[in-house]
Amino acid sequence: MRVLVGCEYSGRVRDAFIKRGHDAWSCDLLPTDVPGPHFQADLLEVIAREGPWDMLIAFPPCTYLCVSGMHRTIRGLRDPKLTEDALYFVGALLNCGTPKVAIENPVGVISTRIRKPDQIIQPYEFGEDASKKTCLWLCGLPKLTPTLRVPGRKATLPSGKVVERWGNQTDSGQNKLPPSESRWKDRSVTYGGVADAMASQWG
């Protein structure tokens, strides 16, 4: 298949499909971190100019869409138009005419403004020692089947409740990555187990 992986600079999903014999390309406004077939361009332009594509997997930037960032918009600290533009972009991807489409994003306003996700996955369901609640909006594609559940360590909260926590989390459930200029980029990379599942099950 011809597969376009949108808003991806890591090349992780692209390369998982290439390993299985597909003609896969990544696309982002940033250059690719790993050498390989990559469009450094606007995703919607590439869809139209370089198509037709058999599959689109896209990871739209979540800054103006996720619940964790919306408090800035709600409190009037950020222009609401940024969220409207982000929602327009997601809608255009879902309706781009490609037969098979998957949109990935954290829990956020896509669920209330466009439609609820078809599936919510966790990296620890795909062989990764990590927790990152991730929504998938699917068109023409089946839900991903978990491949290997990695159990979390047991942590006791101040209330006495015992919960599971994974390698990327503190006992309280916060992400361990310290503040840095690259934190947003590091957190957005798709886990290898999820990328492999996408390629093996959707490819």
pLDDT bracket for residue 188 (50, 70, 90): confident
pLDDT greater than 70 at residue 183: no
pLDDT bracket for residue 12 (50, 70, 90): very high
The one-letter amino acid code at 29 reads L
Per-domain boundaries in the chain? 2-151+186-202
pLDDT digits (tens, 9 = 90+) for 16-30: 999 999 999 999 999
DSSP bridge partners of 163: 155
pLDDT bracket for residue 162 (50, 70, 90): very high
pLDDT digits (tens, 9 = 90+) for 60-84: 998 889 876 666 666 666 677 889 9
pLDDT greater than 80 at residue 180: no
CATH of domain 2-151+186-202: 3.40.50.150
pLDDT bracket for residue 126 (50, 70, 90): very high
Q: Does the global pTM surpass 0.75?
A: yes
pLDDT greater than 70 at residue 45: yes
pLDDT bracket for residue 175 (50, 70, 90): confident
Report the pLDDT averaged over residues 144-164: 97
pLDDT bracket for residue 171 (50, 70, 90): very high
Q: Which pLDDT score is estimated for 79?
A: 79
Report the pLDDT averaged over residues 8-14: 97
Whole-number average pLDDT of the chain: 92
